[in-house]
A and B are shown apart, each in its own frame.
Chain A
Amino acid sequence: MRDARGDMRRPVGLRLWLSGGWLTLLVAGAIFAPWIAPKDPLMQDLFLGRLPPFWESGTEPGFWLGTDSLGRDVLSRMLYGARLALVVALVAGTLTCIIGAALGLIAGYYRGWPDRIISRFVDIWMAFPPVLFAILLIAVLGPGLWSIIIAIVVIDWTRFARVIRAEAMTQGAMDYVASAQVAGRKRFGTMLTEILPNVLPTIVVLLTLEMGIAVIVEAILSFVNLSISTDSPTWGGMIAEGRTSVHQAWWVLVFPLIALFLTVLSFSQLGEGLKDRFDPVLR
């Protein structure tokens, strides 16, 4: 039993600051990309190909993180790439969360036949190998922003459904839920006002985790060229291009990789940090 009396407020942890800081920077960069990007991300200039980042010798002013083999500015491309990564993270993450959590909540709280139907569905769904499933889906839908989002939602809603179902079941067996019902509450109302607030911390963690996953999936799909049209810059696309010339121009590969890594890490850390703040028992 946890016994945290009084106001033992934990300070906002370092990881919440760091992850929140990076993500804020990223969001700002993505939103203001057209104004702050030093160069046009699509402009090629073969004379400026493979310029190194600013601290090495042989750079040109304005190309802070160097250029790729076609002479395109790496920093500008990364900023524009962040737009796609974040849109996918937000939209896919949120949709996955809403669909999965709603089904999980209903299954775990109502039990009975809704649970049997939803759980059976989840089991069957999870029998498909996810990567194959995604590639198949995109092949059918054709590459594009919405295809990526739909692929992520379709594959990952089961994670939410399973975890939230288990949590809702635990909460549903508690006496306070029975009390709410004795007090004349409707079942649906009880689910929203009693159960949902108690599974919210878990939902937040899963949601941020999912956003991180969405960023990776988008990168992987761009890497194998199944993402949106090839001329708009994506981190995955940059990594794919950078890989072929890593010995001549490591920066084309490394900078997008770092951005990807930091973003995914930040999303998961943000979730853990927020959970601590959200959960009244831990707070």
Chain B
Amino acid sequence: MNGFLSIRNLTVRLKNGSPILRSVSLDVAAGQVHGLVGESGAGKSMIGKAVLGTLPRALSVTGGEIWLDGTNLMSLSPTERRRRIGATAALIPQDPLTALNPSKRIGPQITRRLVDILGWSRQDAQDRALELLGEVHIPDPARVMRNYPHELSGGMRQRILIASAFAAEPRLIIADEPTTALDVTVQKQILRLIADMQTRHGTALLFVTHDLGVVSKVCDTLSVLYAGKVVEDARMHRFFMRPIHPYSAALLAATPTYTDPTGSLTPVSQAVIDGVEAEVAQHDARRAQ
């Protein structure tokens, strides 16, 4: 095992048997940022959900291991697993609109983790929440604590979710496309904020995105996911210098921010996609035997 989070041969299937994740392995080292890229529907979110134990009901883990801080989560009882995950990991979700409970004020939604998981007193939790809201640059934190989610903008909500994710000092944070639901001007600030917070708190971060430009800025290592399968697993500079897998190369060529921002986009060609499809099919055939 060489990561704080180590996923080994994780397979997730729909209840009817069709695979969503095919024997996925990846590592997130302690205090490092690991990017997880891939197109929409590749299964990026499902990796995060499998780790956190929040897979949709239609899906279940049918094989593999998830090691978190030296313990295989799959070998724990559901209660023990939930306790362990709660104490170690947190999520920055994709959609700040549905990630806060609309009928509760912001304050209790942040302090809940501290009171529930760390057993802090309400007053201590309150103080810590105020401090955190300041840290994510929220003006007038005391007032915001009393607001309902719908009274705040998307960017504010995402800052609150970041504060809330870091609140209990988790050692792993999974950020699932934390900026896609925001408008472009806010995206940059939020990205910087997450990177800053990660550095300051020394948290391991699994950063899910489909934007290679973003990955190049914040990640140390990355995995490329295609159709539920990891097709490339690399350190950043090696990946950008010399992608091994044809899909990665094509993806890179299709990213304007990294190569030539003024140049025209090269969409991932059908030939490459066909190639990957064939490979995935081969893989399935091997497993079926």
Chain A complexes with chain B: yes
Please state if B150 and A280 are interface contacts (CB–CB under 8 Å): yes
For A184, list chain B residues within 8 Å (CB).
82-83, 85-87, 116-117
Q: Report the minimum CB–CB distance from A136 to chain B (whole Å).
A: 39
Scoring B residues 234 to 247 as 1 if CB is less than 8 Å from chain A, else 0, what string do you get?
00000000000000
Assuming A179-B93, A182-B52, is B101 touching A198 (CB within 8 A)? yes
Please state if A197 and B151 are interface contacts (CB–CB under 8 Å): no
For B85, list chain A residues within 8 Å (CB).
182, 184
Q: Which of A94-151 contact B (CB under 8 A)?
A: 111-112
A43 interface residue (CB < 8 Å to B) = no
Assuming A6-B151, A197-B104, is B99 touching A179 (CB within 8 A)? yes
Q: Report the minimum CB–CB distance from B100 to chain A (whole Å).
A: 6
A241 interface residue (CB < 8 Å to B) = no
Q: Report the minimum CB–CB distance from B52 to chain A (whole Å).
A: 5
Choose one: B53, B101, B117, B148; the contact of A176 (CB below 8 Å).
B101
CA distance A112 to B15 in the complex (A): 12
CA distance A158 to B90 in the complex (A): 39
Scoring B residues 70 to 110 as 1 if CB is less than 8 Å from chain A, else 0, what string do you get?
00000000000011011101110111011111111000010
A10 interface residue (CB < 8 Å to B) = no
Choose one: B49, B56, B113; the contact of A183 (CB below 8 Å).
B113
Please state if A178 and B91 are interface contacts (CB–CB under 8 Å): yes
B112 interface residue (CB < 8 Å to A) = yes
Q: Which residue of B lies closest to A282 (CB)?
A: B150
Scoring A residues 188 to 215 as 1 if CB is less than 8 Å from chain B, else 0, what string do you get?
0000001001101000000000000000
Please state if B103 and A175 are interface contacts (CB–CB under 8 Å): no
CA distance A2 to B117 in the complex (A): 33
Q: Which residue of B lies closest to A196 (CB)?
A: B103
Please state if A280 and B52 are interface contacts (CB–CB under 8 Å): no
Q: Report the minimum CB–CB distance from B222 to chain A (whole Å).
A: 24
For A1, list chain B residues within 8 Å (CB).
97
Interface residue tally on A, bucketed by range: 20 to 34
Q: Report the minimum CB–CB distance from B40 to chain A (whole Å).
A: 17
B57 interface residue (CB < 8 Å to A) = yes
For A112, list chain B residues within 8 Å (CB).
57
A185 interface residue (CB < 8 Å to B) = yes
Q: Which of B53-75 contact A (CB under 8 A)?
A: 53-54, 56-57
A14 interface residue (CB < 8 Å to B) = no
Assuming A6-B151, A182-B89, A281-B150, is B103 touching A197 (CB within 8 A)? yes
Q: Which residue of A lies closest to B148 (CB)?
A: A280
CA distance A184 to B98 in the complex (A): 19
For B93, list chain A residues within 8 Å (CB).
175, 178-179
CA distance A198 to B87 in the complex (A): 27
Please state if A198 and B91 are interface contacts (CB–CB under 8 Å): no
For A3, list chain B residues within 8 Å (CB).
150
A258 interface residue (CB < 8 Å to B) = no
For A200, list chain B residues within 8 Å (CB).
103
| Other A-B pairs beyond A183-B112, A183-B113, 8, CB < 8 Å | A2-B150, A173-B56, A176-B99, A183-B116, A184-B85, A184-B86, A197-B103, A280-B148
Q: List 23 A-B contacts (CB under 8 A).
A: A2-B150, A111-B57, A112-B57, A175-B93, A175-B94, A175-B98, A176-B99, A178-B49, A178-B52, A178-B54, A182-B86, A182-B91, A183-B113, A183-B117, A184-B82, A184-B86, A184-B116, A197-B101, A197-B104, A198-B101, A280-B102, A280-B103, A281-B148
For A4, list chain B residues within 8 Å (CB).
150-151
For A198, list chain B residues within 8 Å (CB).
101-103
A181 interface residue (CB < 8 Å to B) = yes
CA distance A6 to B87 in the complex (A): 35
For B150, list chain A residues within 8 Å (CB).
2-4, 280-281
Q: Report the minimum CB–CB distance from B264 to chain A (whole Å).
A: 34
Q: Report the minimum CB–CB distance from B156 to chain A (whole Å).
A: 11
A5 interface residue (CB < 8 Å to B) = yes
Assuming A179-B91, A181-B54, is B86 touching A174 (CB within 8 A)? no
Q: Report the minimum CB–CB distance from A163 to chain B (whole Å).
A: 18
Q: Report the minimum CB–CB distance from B255 to chain A (whole Å).
A: 28
Scoring B residues 195 to 211 as 1 if CB is less than 8 Å from chain A, else 0, what string do you get?
00000000000000000
CA distance A6 to B113 in the complex (A): 27
For A178, list chain B residues within 8 Å (CB).
49, 52, 54, 91, 93
Q: Report the minimum CB–CB distance from A172 to chain B (whole Å).
A: 9
